[in-house]
């Protein structure tokens, strides 16, 4: 582990100090090619050489143990894409969407913005893989999620646990009909159980003061009331099992037959469909077979939460389909990055293994993904990368009216004869206007007077 850390440190030192005795290939590339077009013109051979060296220098991805340091290289983009396909297949065969969403949440939700040291402040760092944290009361049952994902982790060693947990969570939301989440990857794993957060960082289902409790937990993460309500909407997925949490019924008419493992009590009727029904069901509270926890009910009792909750219901009823997901998309993406340490470091991003160093002269679009400000109060270290295909598609065809319009054309002789016959049948001619039909006008006037007389008489 010390070797890995020192190798990574030397690589970063070379990046930041181009005057070293023997600069690395990457240092030479950055110092001699300061614009994005220049870097894109590099030969494929040079790019592949750098990739092989980088990944060879820090091979131990997502592993535990070691000397208390941290793993210095994050995930492989290609392995992440392949792992995502395996996660989709896992979801289709086991219906484990809810527990995967919960796994990602609980790994990230321990973040404490008041602690500056990365390895001790919690967040999306893969610490939930350790037994000591899995045994926290709030994490009851999540060992099953880890067992489902472990074969995928073994198959793709170039993916960190921190990334795999967030990948599975986001993919579960999307596969259940939810929004496409703008996820970033490259999270570094903590290396040992001594870096796990203390118990009590996650929300409790039935605290004495639900509103105060939710704010204590989520404000500690740096989230606000709007984000608390939006994230609560994910309870549209899943069930609560009394043998794990102490809440809910053993089974209901909605859960007794599965799919997946039967039993438990759900918050919504279609508990494997990601939609906005959670807010409507919580507000109405008409079905005894649907679960309402104290922390759910408070969303329509606390004044500030109530405003956000009612707004979610109104957006479901009044707005176009899909716009109700906007708040959740933003809140989930923010949660998934809390406490994360990304590698490659700041302002470096891999997209289909193409090394890109942003050039400010190219404008803001030259930076891949959102920029992050670095400092003690920032919840992330580094920027991360996307595994979505960012290549621009074909430009939309410009609309030209001339393609869809025609010039003036003469009528055919047969059409002219047909029009003439219709005019003559009405007593006129296409060569002169029709005469006024006085009889028809008089009849219309008499009818109007009769109706008016009838109305006045009544």
Token pair, residue 349, equals: 């991003």
Q: Exposed e or buried b for every residue in 234-248, given b needs 16+ CB within 10 A?
A: bbbbbbbbeebbeeb
Pairing between strand 354-356 and 349-351? antiparallel
Distance between CA 275 and CA 317 in Å, rounded? 12
332 is catalytic: no
φ and ψ of 407, to 5 deg: -75, 175
Token pair, residue 204, equals: 């409790």
Other CB atoms closer than 10 Å to residue 376's CB: what's the count? Answer: 7
H helices then E strands: how many in the chain? 18, 4
337 closest CA partner among 36, 105, 49, 27: 105
Give the CA distances from residue 308 to residues 148, 231, 298, 299, in Å, rounded to whole numbers and listed in that order: 35, 11, 12, 8
Q: Exposed e or buried b for every residue in 154-173, given b needs 16+ CB within 10 A?
A: eebebbbbbbbbbbbbbbbb
Hey, which residues does 381 pair with through a beta bridge? Answer: 341
φ and ψ of 123, to 5 deg: 105, -165
φ and ψ of 104, to 5 deg: -65, -40
**Beta carbons of 342 and 350 less than 8 angstroms apart:** no
Q: 401: Cβ–Cβ under 8 A, 6 or more apart, which residues?
A: none
φ and ψ of 377, to 5 deg: -90, 0
Token pair, residue 379, equals: 């919840």
Distance between CA 296 and CA 281 in Å, rounded? 10
Token pair, residue 192, equals: 């040992």
161 closest CA partner among 112, 103, 110, 90: 103
For residue 239, the SS3 value is strand
CA dihedral 438, 444, 446, 449 (to 10 degrees): -140
Distance between CA 247 and CA 238 in Å, rounded? 13
Distance between CA 277 and CA 97 in Å, rounded? 17
Of the residues 97, 106, 136, 235, only one is catalytic, namely 106
Hey, which residues are catalytic here? 106
């Amino acid at each position: 582990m010390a070797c890995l850390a020192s190798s990574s440190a030397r690589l970063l030192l070379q990046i930041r100090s181009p005057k070293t005795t023997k600069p690395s290939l990457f240092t030479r590339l950055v110092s001699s090619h300061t614009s994005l077009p220049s870097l894109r013109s590099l030969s494929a051979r040079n790019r592949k050489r750098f990739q092989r060296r980088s990944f060879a220098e820090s091979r131990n991805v997502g592993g535990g143990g070691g000397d208390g340091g941290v793993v210095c290289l994050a995930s492989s983009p290609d392995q992440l894409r392949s792992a995502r396909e395996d996660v989709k297949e896992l979801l289709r065969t086991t219906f484990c969407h809810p527990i995967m969403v919960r796994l990602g949440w609980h790994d990230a939700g321990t973040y404490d913005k008041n602690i500056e040291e990365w390895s001790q402040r919690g967040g999306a760092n893969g610490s939930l893989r350790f037994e000591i944290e899995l045994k926290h009361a709030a994490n009851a049952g999540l060992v099953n999620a880890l067992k489902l994902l472990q074969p995928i982790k073994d198959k793709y060693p170039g993916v960190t646990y921190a990334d795999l947990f967030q990948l599975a969570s986001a993919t579960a939301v999307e596969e259940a009909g939810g929004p496409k989440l703008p996820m970033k990857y490259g999270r570094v794993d903590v290396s040992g159980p001594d870096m796990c957060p203390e118990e009590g960082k996650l929300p409790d289902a039935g605290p004495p003061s639900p509103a105060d409790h939710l704010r204590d937990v989520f404000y500690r993460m740096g989230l606000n009331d709007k984000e608390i309500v939006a994230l609560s909407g994910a309870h549209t997925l899943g069930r609560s099992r009394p043998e794990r949490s102490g809440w809910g019924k053993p089974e209901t008419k909605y859960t007794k037959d599965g799919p997946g493992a039967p039993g438990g009590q759900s918050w919504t009727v279609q508990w494997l469909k990601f939609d906005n029904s959670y807010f409507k069901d919580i507000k109405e509270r008409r079905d005894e077979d649907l679960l309402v926890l104290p922390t759910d009910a408070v969303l329509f009792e606390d004044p500030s939460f109530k405003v956000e909750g009612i707004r979610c219901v109104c957006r479901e009823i009044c707005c176009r389909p899909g716009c109700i997901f906007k708040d959740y998309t933003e809140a989930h993406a923010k949660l998934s990055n809390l406490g994360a340490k990304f590698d490659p470091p700041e302002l470096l991003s891999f997209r289909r293994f193409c090394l890109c160093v942003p050039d400010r002269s190219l404008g803001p679009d030259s930076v891949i993904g959102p920029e992050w400000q670095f400092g003690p109060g920032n919840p992330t270290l580094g920027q991360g990368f996307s595994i979505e295909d960012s290549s621009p598609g074909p430009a939309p065809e410009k609309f030209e009216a001339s393609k869809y319009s025609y010039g003036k054309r003469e009528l055919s002789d047969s059409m002219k004869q047909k029009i003439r016959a219709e005019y003559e049948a009405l007593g006129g001619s296409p060569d002169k206007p029709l005469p006024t039909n006085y009889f028809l006008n008089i009849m219309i006037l008499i009818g109007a007077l009769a109706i008016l007389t009838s109305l006045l008489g009544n």
